[in-house]
């Protein structure tokens, strides 16, 4: 398997997982805002949902940046060009 293709698959998995979790949490926050009423308990719940969404974004960004490269990306030394 190509190392470039493997890193593309990892990127796609990261986007799909964090994106789907974020969309579910965002949708729950939207429903709470529209139909939750105005009580203090609902406001605290909306704040907790917003913090959870922020946490998902932080974890997704960390996973995207710090994730391990594919097996072929770091094990192969760079070839030096030799002049005649």
Neighbour tally for 3: CB within 10 Å: 15
Q: Which of 67 and 69 is assigned the larger pLDDT? A: 67
| pTM of the entire predicted model | 0.57
Average of pLDDT values for 4-13? 68
pLDDT of residue 5: 52
% residues pLDDT > 70 (the chain): 71
Distances (CA, A) of 53 to 22, 26, 58, 75: 6, 7, 9, 36
């Amino acid at each position: 398997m190509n190392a470039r293709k493997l890193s593309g698959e990892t990127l796609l998995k990261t986007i799909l997982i964090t994106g789907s979790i974020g969309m579910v949490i965002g949708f729950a926050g939207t429903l709470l805002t529209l139909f939750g009423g105005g009580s203090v308990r609902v406001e605290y719940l909306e704040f907790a949902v917003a913090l959870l969404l922020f946490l998902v974004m932080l974890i997704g960004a960390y996973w995207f940046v710090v994730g391990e490269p594919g097996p072929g990306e770091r094990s192969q030394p760079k070839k030096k060009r030799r002049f005649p």
